[in-house]
Structure formats: C-alpha cells, structure tokens
Amino acid sequence: MWKWSSKYVYVIIAALTTLGIAVTFVVAYVYQFPVNYLQLDDASLADYLQALYYPTHARYPPWTIGLCLGYILHRTHGRQLTLTTSSILSGWVGSNICMIGAVLGLTPFQQSDYVYGRLESSLYHAVFRAGWSVGVAWIIFACDAGYG
C-alpha cells in the first residue's frame, strides 16, 4: 500500500470507511435496534449481537481509520512535521468532540422519558465507533508529531 499514490490510498480508505458506516446505519435502521441495548429482551439481544455487535461490517470503520493513521505515520516517519497552532488546536478540539460525543451521546437514549427514534438511534450506531477512533487517531498522531 505504501507504494501506491497517496491520493488513491486515501480515497480507498475513505470509501471503505464510509461504506462500513452506511452498512451499519442500514442494519440498525432495518432491525430498529435501540442504542441502549440493555432494554432488549433475550431474543432481541441475540439478534442485536448477531446483526450489529459481532459482525465485521460494524467493526471495520475503526480499523480503516487506524489503517489510515498507520499509513500517515509510515509516510511521515523520520520527518519533523510543522503544524500551525490553529491546526493543532482544531485537532485537539475535534478529537475531544468526537470522543465525548461517542461517550455522552448515549445520555439522551438512556433517559426514562426517551421515546425511540429510529433515525437518531441508527445514526448513533453508525458513527460512534468511528468517532471514537478518529479521536484516538488524532491523539496518537499528535503525540507522534510532538504536539501531544
């Protein structure tokens, strides 16, 4: 992969990540899985685990994000990166937003007065793993570049 043109690698990784997010969204939408899986009965929990928790399609967007980070780290190995202050600040703020959103995004779904929303539940299922991964990827990249 490191022998390919960078633009092709980034396009392929972005397409695979987007596809994984879209497939996860569709599965969550079709099966109408709530975000708070603790509310499910045993049969529905088994369906949730088989359709959305264990399968590769739900797990590979974070993997592709890590793959992209590894590719970037490989391409920049041994070089001193100079980032602007606004880039560094944007990266840290974005990382925190992604990670806090992944964790605290559960809060509305866990309220006793919450009414199931198919679209919002499916969106959360689709993006929370990728959001967390983007946040972790920035932390690794920033620390490797000396901005951690």
* Rounded Cα–Cα distance for residues 141 and 136 (Å): 9
The pTM of this model reads 0.89
The DSSP letter of residue 105 is: T
- Spatial neighbors of 122 by CB under 8 A, at least 6 apart, are 25, 26, 28, 29, 33
Q: What is the pLDDT along the chain (148 residues), one digit of tens a residue?
A: 556 677 788 899 999 999 999 999 999 999 999 998 887 889 999 999 999 999 998 889 999 999 999 999 998 988 888 999 999 999 999 999 999 999 999 999 888 888 889 999 999 999 999 999 999 999 999 999 999 8
